Structure 1
Amino acid sequence: MRITNYLSLLAAGSLALASCHKGAPTATNPGKASSTTGIEYNTDEGMKVTDFKKIPTGPGLVYIEGGRTVLGSQEEDVTNNHDNLERTVTIASFFMDEAEVANIHWLEYLHFIRKDSSEEKYKAALPDTTVWARDLSFNDPYVTYYLRYPGFRYFPVVGVNWLQADSYCAWRTAKVNENLAKTGGSSSKGGGLFHRKKKGDTGTGTAAEGGTKTAGALADGKGGASIENGNLLPNYRLPTEAEWEYAAQALVGTQEVGNENQEEKRIYPWDGRSTRNPYGKNQGQFLANFKRGRGDYAGIAGSLNDGAMITEYVYAYPPNDYGLYNMAGNVNEWVQDVYRPLSFQDVEDLNPFRRNGVGDDAKNYDTKGYQSLVNDHVRVYKGGSWRDVAYYLSPGTRRFMAEDSATSTIGFRCAMINAGTNK
């Protein structure tokens, strides 16, 4: 019996070795000639195949390893929306900003828009600072100072609607790729656009000089930056709702090596049922910036709970197991998806995403009769904010708002596909 088992193992090993073609071409080593026609690459007759190693990680991004997960509400649906029931999906690996886009990044955007574009586009890119204004609150200083005062540089930008956030992603794609083309494909050290500063940093924040170009203009196919040459970063974009929720769960931190079962769940982007840190010297401190209760935004002087009356430094509070900061609280974040209450059952189970009303047309909702706010121009936002109670910190909660609306509680971060690999 043992000999039989040994022979079986030996045969299996031989098959495995045979299946691994040692000389098989790869993306980084395609060989000198086509494996199907035999025609040599980079000749007068053959196709141009440039050297390709690996595109650098885009500035500000961290890698999110994909996989299977259960999306949806982990707690009782206290709002009775029933619009995010649990379902199993698979999310491809992708990249996401480690922190929310901050005021200094938006000011850099405005700098280049004013320099390279029209005054009309500059004005269209301005955040709505009046989102801070309240008839019965003295928030006037935030209206004037929040966006531009140096002390708020690394606080999340707010007053930005979905359309503006989407336009920022397109601009950032072009600007980063232009910079990569100038530097020969090497990315700057220290995190690029998101190189860390201390709270209240008074540096100039001046962006590098140079005009913006569209990614299409860079794809010249003549040895410069192009998709075929592999020296263009994919588009920065808003994350899909599924990507955002998956990244916020960060269940990679609960998984045992070699164990295919997902035995742990999380209510928040951290372990446990509490919003306080249960460990170490920071035991008892809050893990996110949120509203503790009616009228309590920060706690009592001398013993503040989360320490933030409004928004907070984008690197405040511990990151989750993917290295992402403030995936709960601080500001809600726009995602790509059009809102539908039944998206959990209508969309695919591989990389689910709702881009429009397919399968659930807007005419099903009585917007003209003011019985519904749902149409193809309302977008999902996630994560909870400084003004929300703990219920909204759970990755499974979802809300929506018109894509041309803005508030003092919604910001965003960018994402990017992981092109050319499943790892």
Structure 2
Amino acid sequence: MKFNNYLGLVAAGSLAFLASCGHKGAPTATNPGKASSTTGIEYNTDEGMKVASFKKIPTGPGLVYIEGGRTVLGSAEEDVTNNHDNMERTVTIASFYMDEAEVANIHWLEYLHFLRKDSSEEKYRAALPDTTVWARDLSFNDPYVTYYLRYPGFRYYPVVGVNWLQADSYCAWRTAKVNENLAKSNSGNSKGGGLFGKKKDKKGDASAASGAEGGGAGALANGKNGPSIENGNTLPNYRLPTEAEWEYAAQALIGTQEVGNENQEEKRIYPWDGRSLRNPYGGKQGQFLANFKRGRGDYAGLAGSLNDGAMITEYIYAYPPNDFGLYNMAGNVNEWVQDVYRPLSFQDVEDLNPFRRNGVGDPADKYDKKGYQSMIDDHVRVYKGGSWRDVAYWLSPGTRRYMAEDSATATIGFRCAMINAGSNK
């Protein structure tokens, strides 16, 4: 009996080993072979389907790779606001890309430049940030109203006065512009069936033959006569990160994880180790790790011994990055995320890539906005991270606030994210 069990274990182990080895020479996304493995019909022939050459997705400008995984989202600090709107729960976040720093004034000015050049005056004016967010009746912030966006000294300070709708439109424009530039830089470099090597028809348009991979009526394209995503040489959409992605990226617990250890034994209150807001190491020991408001009336410290060194916003690379290589995931400016706000999102949304795009399961008519008993509807969006005007409590990744998607302040900016296309990681 024991011998039979032993043989069974050996056989099972052998099968597992063979399965793990995979099929030698099996087709892959980057090497699909010359012919179909199901019909035997050769690709890229008059009869066969057109299959584009594909190596891997190019990395978009400004982005860094965020390796996904299991984590515990939610507030690690005492809930001093007593909202109970971000309770701890275990979720899994797929790998994605995120801007290493906040979108800066110079980036927004570039956006305005191309809108004025390529679009209508109406769209240009709709994209202008609200510079009056700096104006205060009882404070002399007038210079920022005039100079903050356009003066060269503020080029790499985070753009503010941008509402959620404007930030979302910027993401769409950036996608189109980056892919347009990618097409120009790669035109003529690809031979055969790749995106940039397509033959032109007599009208000069790229041919989208019905026999192309995924072609025909169901083929997807980035725009009219634009490159189809089936070719794999265009970038996916730049977009605002989901709240879960943003919070996961801010935690950056990859820096605490031991190789081969399946347990998450460390947790962080802020995007760095420890409970202190100051740098404990090296020549910058004692300096603050983020731009925030230390206390009532204290935005920067004493002259000659400034603590975070910034009365308002700061250079987008001014403080040490977290373990994912992301700058200012705490302080400087709060950041818009995609999610519609609901206080019970933590228990309503799913545990794989959680995201609330609307009020499903928690409809807006439950909240008495007309009677001024609530500010919640399907047009309020979450923002996170804390800002130059916030106390340290809001620097914790698990804290969350919300504001109408068409509103803007001097304390909210944003950064873009992108899916990790063609991967199950």
User: What TM-score comes out, normalization by structure 2 length?
Assistant: 0.89
Residue matched to 2:182 = 180
Q: CA deviation at 1:217?
A: 2.5
Displacement of 1:240 in angstroms is 0.2
2:164 and 2:336 in contact (8 A); partners too: yes
* Alpha-carbon separation, structure 2, partners of 1:47 and 1:332: 48
Name 1:282's counterpart in structure 2: 284
Structure 2 residue identity aligned to 1:17: L
- Offset of residue 15 of structure 1: 4.1
Does structure 2 retain, via aligned residues, the 8 Å contact 1:185–1:231? Answer: no
Q: Is the 8 A contact 2:98 2:415 kept in 1?
A: yes
Residue 116 of structure 2: which of 114, 117, 138 is its match?
114
Cα deviation for residue 10 of structure 1 reads 8.6
CA contact (8 A) 1:64 1:95 kept: yes
Letter in 2 for 1:51: S
- 2:350 aligned with 1:348: yes
The SS at the match of 1:406 is coil
User: Counterparts of 2:412 and 2:236 in 1: how far apart (Å)?
Assistant: 25
- Tell me which of 102, 105, 129 is aligned to 1:103: 105
Give the equivalent residue in structure 1 for 2:55: 53
Query: C-alpha separation between the residues in 2 aligned to 1:144 and 1:402?
Result: 25
Q: How far, CA to CA, are the matches of 1:360 and 1:415 in structure 2?
A: 27
1:16 Cα deviation from its structure 2 partner? 1.8
Amino acid of the structure 2 residue aligned with 1:355:
R
Inter-partner Cα distance in structure 2 for 1:6 and 1:411: 63
CA contact (8 A) 1:56 1:185 kept: no
The letter of the residue matching 2:222 is: G
Structure 1 position 218, deviation (Å): 6.5
- Conserved? CA contact 1:219–1:227, under 8 Å: no
1:22 to 15, 20, 24: 24
- SS of residue in 2 equivalent to 1:289: coil
Letter paired with 1:233: L
Larger Rg over CA atoms: 2
Residue 45 (structure 1) shift: 1.3
The correspondence of residues 263-342 of structure 1 with structure 2, limited to 5 A, is 263-342=265-344
Q: Give, as a single letter, the amino acid of the residue that structure 1 aligns with 2:366.
A: N
Q: Could you tell me which amino acid in structure 1 is paired with residue 223 of structure 2?
A: A
Deviation, 1:216, is 2.5
Any idea what the Cα deviations from partners look like across 1:235-282, whole Å, max 9, x if unmatched? 000000000000000000000000000000000000000100111111
Cα distance change, pair 30–388 in 1 and its aligned pair in 2 (3 A): same
Query: Alpha-carbon deviation of 1:219?
Result: 5.8
| Counterpart for residue 374 of structure 2 | 372
SS at match of 2:222: helix
SS of 1:217's partner is coil
Aligned residue identity for 1:60: G
Asked if 2 retains the 8 angstrom alpha-carbon contact of 1:290 and 1:306, the reply is: yes
CA contact (8 A) 1:96 1:415 kept: yes
Q: 3-state SS of the aligned residue for 1:228?
A: helix
Match of 2:40? 38
Ranges in structure 2 where 5+ consecutive residues have no aligned partner = 189-220
Structure-1 separation of matches of 2:95 and 2:136: 42
- Paired residues of 2:279 and 2:285 also in contact (CA < 8 A): yes
Amino acid at match of 1:368: K
CA distance in 1, matches of 2:326, 2:393: 20
Structure 1 residues 370 and 14: CA distance shift in structure 2, 3 A: closer
Q: List per-residue Cα deviations over 1:280-322 (Å, max 9, x = no partner).
A: 1111110000000000000000110000000000001000000
The whole-number CA distance in structure 2 between the counterparts of 1:275 and 1:101 is: 24
Match of 1:232 in 2: 234
Report percent identity of matched pairs: 87
Describe the SS at the equivalent of 2:223: helix
Task: Give a deviation string over 1:120-151, Cα, whole Å, max 9, x none.
Answer: 10000000000000001110000000000000
Which position in structure 2 is the counterpart of 1:207?
Answer: none
Do 1:158 and 1:411's aligned partners in 2 also have CA atoms closer than 8 Å? Answer: yes
The CA distance in 2 between the partners of 1:297 and 1:13, in whole Å, is 65
The aligned residue for residue 216 of structure 2 is none
Within 1, Cα distance between the matches of 2:31 and 2:141? Answer: 59
Structure 2 residue 229 is the aligned partner of structure 1 residue 217: no
Give me the whole-angstrom Cα distance separating, in 2, the residues matched to 1:41 and 1:105: 43
Which whole-Å CA distance do the structure 2 matches of 1:279 and 1:411 have between them? 30
Q: Contact 2:57 / 2:421 at 8 angstroms: preserved in 1?
A: no
